[in-house]
Structure 1
Amino acid sequence: MLKNSIKFLVGNFKDLNNKKVIITLSLVSLFLRLPFFFRDYIDRDESTFILLGQSWVDGFLPYLQLWDLKPPLTFAFFAALISIFGKSFIALRIAGTVLVIVTAFFTYKISTRITSKKVALGAALGTVVLLSLFGSLQGVMSEHLSMAFFMPGLYLLMAKKSNGWFFIAGLLMGIVVMVKLNMAYPILFLGLYLCYEAIKTKRTALFWYTTLFGAGTITVILATILPYYLDGNSLVWWKSVILAPLEYTSARRYPLLKLAPFFLIITAFLFFAWKKKYVNFKDRTVLFLITAIVGVLVSFLKGGRINGHYLIQLHPMLVILVAITLNVLLTKYLTKIPKSVLFILLLVPVESYLEYGNIVRNKLRHDTFFNGEGFTVPDYINKNKLETKNILFLGYHIGYWNLGKLPPTMASTHPSNLCRDELFPFFNNPRKTSVEELSYIMEELRPKTVVLRKNKRIFDKKELEQNAYIEAYLEKHYKLHTTVENAEILQRLEGF
């Protein structure tokens, strides 16, 4: 049945065209991501991007009213959506789906340069799955946004041979850097590879292409500085976009041994594909892919940490080489794909199946598809007229957006930023340490209402001092008002 459905959708692989591919990728992406359109929040980073996007819509450039550790075009994307569609979770999640489709389509386009359309489609579908499932990837992450520009830019570098296209590729890569700063490494490596090609072939045109590629990238970076320059806040841009990430990576590094297994697996696969000659490592397109992959891996190594959503930056390039290798292995060792494999493929989107069930149950119980404490807690607060002045969300902080409120301080824009005191100097925070910041919020701003995650530690387990302070303070000065789903709403005791 699944096989027949695929044949009906894409037809003969030899006759596969861009329109059919886009329709296929759109349908699969929508099926996997649709049930998450109604979730309040999926990752806390996404909630933070929304808050900064709203702040920009309200007239405040990023880093001036609220603060987070991302370049400005991440927030510009959310600001644009909010300015057009208002406070619409569905619009945001649809936009996220479009980003996945764009990334997957250009994964397909790049793949067709070195393999069959059938394998290319498989790589594109693999990209959709890897960018939509497993963890918090159903939300709209900065990595989704960056790759939706990186993959078209990479394709232009491979496929086009004119000054204009290379400048456009540079513009796309400039957007990428101003969404995810660590992507400067693969972009730099690609530029160096172009220089190598120019020197090796002694083709003057390649020197011009490389120059225009770099010029396009720099143009976008300078353009993001312009609003701050005109506002007299150029230093804010420099400290927030450049200096703060450098400090963060040096302060929050994982031990090298923790990163080693990941790098060993990737290296072992690439060595295997090269040694067995399953992938032609002399092909120019493959060399571009390897260059980009190495650049991303170097960025991970320099950053000293790898989270699940970071891998979004690696998957589209790597999945092409994996798809080619798997195709060779399947052709060589399997004349027919076992039905059990197709059954396993049907089980891959189990997260989506569960979420479909969740939204149906929520509709039956509460007469709405929208679900999560980011909706129910603000709804309870409004209905019961609880005090929202200086309200503090230590969990479910998308609630600020639904209540139309701001976090009490810049440091509390993202709850985990409260513990990143190494970043405080970069937004001129008057308090120097995390405990001082918490003390200021709790003892001077004195929020009447505090929202926590039920049965969850407030901060990371490594933040011993911060957890000890906040737990002791809440125990003494607050009482549990009510529990809403998995959220606890605390109220300040009278006289405190």
Structure 2
Amino acid sequence: MNPSILKESLLGNSQLKSKTVFLLLTGITFFIRFPFFFRDYIDRDESTFILLGQSWVDGYLPYTQLWDLKPPLTFAFFASIIFLFGKSFVAIRLLGALLVATTAFFTYKITSKMTTTQVALWCGIFCIVLLSLFGSLQGVMSEHLCMAFFVPSMYLIISKKGPIWLLLAGLLMGIAVMVKLNMAYPVLLLGLFLVIELFNKQKKSTLWNVLAFGTGVLLVILLTILPYYMSGQLEVWWKSVILAPLEYSEARRFSLLKLAPTFIVIGVFLFYCWKNAIISVKDRTSLILFMAICGVLFSFFKGGRINGHYLIQIHPMLVIFLGIFLNRLFLRNRLKISRKLLFLLLLIPAESYMEYVNIVKNKIERGTFFNGEGFTVPKYILENKLETDTIFFLGYHIGYWNLGVLPPTLAATHPSNICRDELYPFFDNPRKNSLEELKYIMEEIKPKTVVVRKGRLVFDRDEFEENEYIDAYLAKHYTVAATVEKAEILQRKEISKQ
């Protein structure tokens, strides 16, 4: 095929201004994600990040008052929003939408280095879709945050020259790592790529680029250590940021059969791209993208698990190759985008359309766009003056934030963490396993109010002993005070009745 033909796009060759593209991508992102601004919670991880962000605003470093398995800059993002805007779900989700739009924009910018601006624009749009729909991606996840720094950093490495730009790229990469620790693998691969360039070119300027990049990455990591060092809590950082994730990876690995489909599909596609020169050693941009994908995939293999939202870390790079592949396919077969196909594309954000209906319905019925048990349960508790000092959310734990109270223990910050015995040593938990932790909460703290998901197991199906204990204990010592939507509010029985 004539290489010049490959530069022809489905929609022509007209140039688009960066400002126009950014506004367009931001508008699409806002349209898709806006109705979810009013949800109480979309993913339990997001709720946990909010709790730790609030704790930081209240003067407690991450891992000291509350604890979760993420590097500190994840919580810094939420702390910054809470500090500036208060307890605002809209502010958090709005900033989250800007993160997605930023990732999509720099996906567009990188793609435009390899093909036409129109194909690049489609890649940016589908990046928004993949980062916003299908599951729990409408919330603000740590993957959204890290990619909003990682993808712009790749763009700087690809398109800019000079140590100042590479220092900035390193700083952005360092932030990405201190949001999602597994991003250390693609960052390391990209660093090795720059080193190989240094040996190939043997230029002094390239040496300064490598040093600037490495300095930027290390500087961010050191800055996250600094507040712990200054407060004499360096060990807290080391255990929580480095040792705990390593232990978690070893203890919570998926089987190879469960990992295989993702690796096979992506591997076959990348091999096709390589054979058809979409990825080429002669094309620096495609090679950088390929190495970034390999780094993320290796981190999945090393971590031994892949959850749906993990794939956010690979979608921006993968969608670029997919966009170029589809463009070639359409050109080779002289296909055109029909009106029927455009109509089908408009159906993709079906989740958003349904949520628009949901918030309007909620406004009519309850007088507010804000919806979900994270709002309605705390409202019921406050209106009925139920005990909140020792409240225990086994579901809808964003309720802690709306009530202005804390989980009963560090392990209960994220309800699932209770069952992660392997993490207990890293925040010096005096209890040794999940059953001891549950018994301590239920039999010593004795929460007066407990919130659970109606008709659902409290913990994952695999946690047999924990589910058996908590179900039996709640049945014996608690009674259902109210059912609010899909939540049950339980009240501890009087001592005389126990």
TM-score, scaled to structure 2: 0.96
**Alignment correspondent of 1:268:** 268
1:274–1:281 Cα contact (<8 Å) kept: no
After superposition, what is the alpha-carbon deviation per residue over 1:208-258, rounded to whole angstroms, capped at 9, x for unaligned?
211211111001100000000111100000000000000000000000111
1:279–1:325 Cα contact (<8 Å) kept: no
Deviation at residue 383 of structure 1 after TM alignment: 0.1
After TM superposition, the structure 1 = structure 2 runs for residues 172-251 of structure 1, keeping only pairs within 5 Å, are: 172-251=172-251
Q: Go from structure 1 to structure 2 and tell me whether the alpha carbon gap of 1:88 and 1:13 turns closer, same or farther (over 3 Å shift).
A: farther
Deviation at residue 282 of structure 1 after TM alignment: 2.6
**Alignment correspondent of 2:454:** 454
* Residue 421, structure 1, aligned to residue 427, structure 2: no
After TM superposition, the structure 1 = structure 2 runs for residues 249-260 of structure 1, keeping only pairs within 5 Å, are: 249-260=249-260
Q: Go from structure 1 to structure 2 and tell me whether the alpha carbon gap of 1:12 and 1:260 turns closer, same or farther (over 3 Å shift).
A: closer
2:400–2:407 Cα contact (<8 Å) kept: yes
**Alignment correspondent of 1:374:** 374
**Alignment correspondent of 2:15:** 15
After TM superposition, the structure 1 = structure 2 runs for residues 10-89 of structure 1, keeping only pairs within 5 Å, are: 14-89=14-89
2:49–2:74 Cα contact (<8 Å) kept: yes
Q: Go from structure 1 to structure 2 and tell me whether the alpha carbon gap of 1:163 and 1:268 turns closer, same or farther (over 3 Å shift).
A: same
1:278–1:328 Cα contact (<8 Å) kept: no
Whole-Å separation in 1 of the counterparts to 2:336 and 2:402: 52
After TM superposition, the structure 1 = structure 2 runs for residues 392-403 of structure 1, keeping only pairs within 5 Å, are: 392-403=392-403
* Residue 391, structure 1, aligned to residue 374, structure 2: no
**Alignment correspondent of 2:338:** 338
- For structure 1, the 5+ residue unaligned runs are 1-10
**Alignment correspondent of 2:407:** 407
Aligned residue pairs total: 486
Deviates more, 1:267-276 or 1:445-454: 267-276
**Alignment correspondent of 1:283:** 283
Whole-Å separation in 2 of the counterparts to 1:151 and 1:28: 19
Deviates more, 1:90-99 or 1:266-275: 266-275
After superposition, what is the alpha-carbon deviation per residue over 1:310-355, rounded to whole angstroms, capped at 9, x for unaligned?
0110000110000000000011124322333212211100000110
Secondary structure of the equivalent of 1:447?
coil
Deviation at residue 274 of structure 1 after TM alignment: 2.2
1:296–1:314 Cα contact (<8 Å) kept: yes
Deviation at residue 271 of structure 1 after TM alignment: 1.3
Whole-Å separation in 2 of the counterparts to 1:467 and 1:488: 16
Percent identity of paired positions between Structure 1 and Structure 2: 64
1:434–1:466 Cα contact (<8 Å) kept: yes
**Alignment correspondent of 1:7:** none
Deviates more, 1:274-283 or 1:305-314: 274-283
Whole-Å separation in 2 of the counterparts to 1:449 and 1:475: 14
After TM superposition, the structure 1 = structure 2 runs for residues 318-329 of structure 1, keeping only pairs within 5 Å, are: 318-329=318-329
1:279–1:324 Cα contact (<8 Å) kept: no
2:279–2:290 Cα contact (<8 Å) kept: no
Secondary structure of the equivalent of 2:336?
coil
Deviates more, 1:203-212 or 1:349-358: 203-212
2:103–2:316 Cα contact (<8 Å) kept: yes
Deviation at residue 13 of structure 1 after TM alignment: 5.6
**Alignment correspondent of 1:166:** 166
Whole-Å separation in 2 of the counterparts to 1:82 and 1:490: 30
After superposition, what is the alpha-carbon deviation per residue over 1:452-483, rounded to whole angstroms, capped at 9, x for unaligned?
01111100001111111111111111111110
Query: What is the one-letter code of the residue matched to 1:178?
Result: M
Whole-Å separation in 2 of the counterparts to 1:279 and 1:424: 44
Deviation at residue 79 of structure 1 after TM alignment: 0.3
Whole-Å separation in 2 of the counterparts to 1:16 and 1:251: 49
Secondary structure of the equivalent of 1:68?
coil
After TM superposition, the structure 1 = structure 2 runs for residues 302-321 of structure 1, keeping only pairs within 5 Å, are: 302-321=302-321
**Alignment correspondent of 2:103:** 103
After TM superposition, the structure 1 = structure 2 runs for residues 475-486 of structure 1, keeping only pairs within 5 Å, are: 475-486=475-486
Whole-Å separation in 2 of the counterparts to 1:339 and 1:475: 58
1:411–1:424 Cα contact (<8 Å) kept: yes
After superposition, what is the alpha-carbon deviation per residue over 1:99-146, rounded to whole angstroms, capped at 9, x for unaligned?
001101110111111110001001111111101101010000000000
After superposition, what is the alpha-carbon deviation per residue over 1:286-325, rounded to whole angstroms, capped at 9, x for unaligned?
0000000000000000010001110110000110000000
Whole-Å separation in 1 of the counterparts to 2:277 and 2:146: 31
After superposition, the CA RMSD in angstroms is: 1.1
Deviation at residue 205 of structure 1 after TM alignment: 2.0
Whole-Å separation in 2 of the counterparts to 1:270 and 1:204: 34
2:12–2:118 Cα contact (<8 Å) kept: no
Deviation at residue 160 of structure 1 after TM alignment: 1.2
2:127–2:316 Cα contact (<8 Å) kept: yes
Query: What is the one-letter code of the residue matched to 1:270?
Result: L
Whole-Å separation in 2 of the counterparts to 1:334 and 1:42: 42
- For structure 2, the 5+ residue unaligned runs are 1-10
**Alignment correspondent of 1:350:** 350
Whole-Å separation in 1 of the counterparts to 2:228 and 2:322: 43
